[in-house]
Amino acid sequence: GIVMNAWSKSQADHGPERCKELLDETKTNKGVAPNVVLYNILIDAYARRGQAREAENVLREIVDAPGLEPDNHSFNNVMNAWYKSDAEDAHTRCKELLSEMSRLATLSNNTEVA
């Protein structure tokens, strides 16, 4: 996680790609499943560069992964990515993400997502 975090916060354009490679390496190691913190680091890497669609795709991976649940950092980082993007639908995407975050919190009774 430390190396991923360093790449996420670096000024390198290829920081998100390096983070994804490290996350993928974690996935291929037997008995080691990446946790939401590692996914959040990757989301943050995309968010820092305004790559909203990529950040949201990672959020979808968390939602779809068995045994993982996104937390408030997951959603906040994706909304930050939309904020930094030039996308015309950024405002709409953020509103939809807020609704989804609320819905998931209600479904799971998870206090982490609120």
What is the per-residue pLDDT for 28? 85
Residue with tokens 């990757």: 42
What pLDDT does residue 30 have? 66
Q: Average of pLDDT values for 10-33?
A: 88
Tell me: pLDDT of 114 over 50: no
Q: What share of the chain is helix, strand, coil (3-state, %, to 5)?
A: 70, 0, 30
Query: Which domains can be identified in the chain, with CATH numbers?
Result: 2-108 (1.25.40.10)
| pLDDT for residue 1 | 86
Tell me the pLDDT tens digit for each residue of 66-113.
Answer: 889 999 999 999 999 999 998 999 999 999 999 999 888 887 765 555
- The mean of the pLDDT values for the chain is 89
Amino acid 11 reads Q
Residue 72 to residues 1, 77, 110: CA-CA distances in angstroms?
19, 8, 10
pTM of structure: 0.86
Name which of 25-34, 53-62, 104-113 the model is least confident about. Answer: 104-113
